[in-house]
Amino acid sequence: MLAMKRMQEADKKVLLDKLGIINEEAFVFEATERGERIGYAVFEHMTDRVVLTHAEYGTDGALLDGLVRAGMAYLEDSGNTALYFGEMLDQRALKQYGFITDDKNYVDSVGEFLKTCKKCRM
């Protein structure tokens, strides 16, 4: 069964060290299936914004979509309104799922964006 949840601190530290990320305010959502990690998304608190900087999801764009939406729900619950997307991410996939456009690389209201998804709050 597929599960998406915030990564535990010990596992998060190992992953962030592997990625070379030194940001104690970063948080990670991971997708697991039968106890095995099949993907993740790293969200970093920057000076004035939260940025999705890294994501691993194989070739499953729907997995990326789910990881981003899980992170967005967490952001909204934490009082953050916007989410920016780093340049290292697959721009084509982000456009396909409606996160970014040619004109902007962010979602200015995660709450409004999540209203388009009935299962995002499960």
Instruction: Flag whether 90 is in a domain.
Output: yes
Q: What's the CATH number where 89 sits?
A: 3.40.630.30
Statement: residue 109 has pLDDT above 70: yes
Instruction: Flag whether 121 is in a domain.
Output: no
Statement: residue 121 has pLDDT above 60: no
Instruction: Flag whether 19 is in a domain.
Output: yes
> What is the predicted pLDDT for the residue at 47?
82
How many percent of the chain have pLDDT more than 90?
69
Instruction: Flag whether 122 is in a domain.
Output: no
Statement: residue 122 has pLDDT above 50: no
Instruction: Flag whether 119 is in a domain.
Output: no
> What is the predicted pLDDT for the residue at 119?
54
Structure confidence at residue 115 as a pLDDT band (50, 70, 90): confident
Range of the domain at 106: 2-114
Report the predicted TM-score, pTM, of the whole model to 2 decimal places.
Answer: 0.90
Instruction: Flag whether 78 is in a domain.
Output: yes
Instruction: Flag whether 17 is in a domain.
Output: yes
Number of domains making up the chain: 1
Instruction: Flag whether 120 is in a domain.
Output: no
Three-class secondary structure assignment of the chain: CEEEEECCHHHHHHHHHHHCCCCCCCEEEEEEECCEEEEEEEEEECCCCEEEEEEECCCCHHHHHHHHHHHHHHHHHCCCCCEEECCCCCHHHHHHCCCCCCCCCEECCHHHHHCCCCCCCC
Mean of pLDDT values over 13-30? 94
> What is the predicted pLDDT for the residue at 118?
58
Tens digits of residue pLDDT in 27-67: 999 999 998 999 999 999 988 899 999 999 999 999 999 99
